[in-house]
Amino acid sequence: MAFWTYLLLCRDGSFYTGHTDNLEARMAAHTDGTFPGYTHRRRPVVLVWSQDFTTRDEAFRVERQIKGWSRAKKQALASGDWEALKRLRTPPSSPPRTTSTTRSP
C-alpha cells in the first residue's frame, strides 16, 4: 500500500498540504467539498505536487516538513524548480557580527 503527501493550490492562492493512503479519493473529496476544513471554502483546488511513500509515518513527516516551509519554497516545489528549492533550503545567513573595540591611549 502506498501513502501520499500532496500539495494543493487553492482558489485564493494559498497552499494546502496533506497526506493520504488514497490520493484519488482524497482529491475527489477536496474537489467536491466533502473534505471539511481548510480547502472547503477555497475551492476549486488544483493538485500541484504529490509523492508516494512506503509508510504513513514517512508521508506524515514530509507533510509536517512542507507545512513549515515558506510560500516561496512551496512555490518552488509546485513548479519543480529544484535549483530554487536548494537555494531556499537553508535560511539566509545573518549579517556578520561586528564588535567595537576600544583602545586605550
Percent of the chain whose predicted confidence (pLDDT) is above 70: 85
Look at 9-23, 43-57, 90-104 and tell me which has the smallest mean pLDDT.
90-104
pTM: 0.83
Render pLDDT for 17-62 as a digit per residue (tens, 0 to 9).
999 999 999 999 999 999 889 999 999 999 999 999 999 999 999 9
Domains of the chain and any CATH numbers: 3-88 (3.40.1440.10)
State the average pLDDT over residues 71-81: 96
Q: How many beta carbons lie within 10 A of that of residue 91, not counting itself?
A: 7
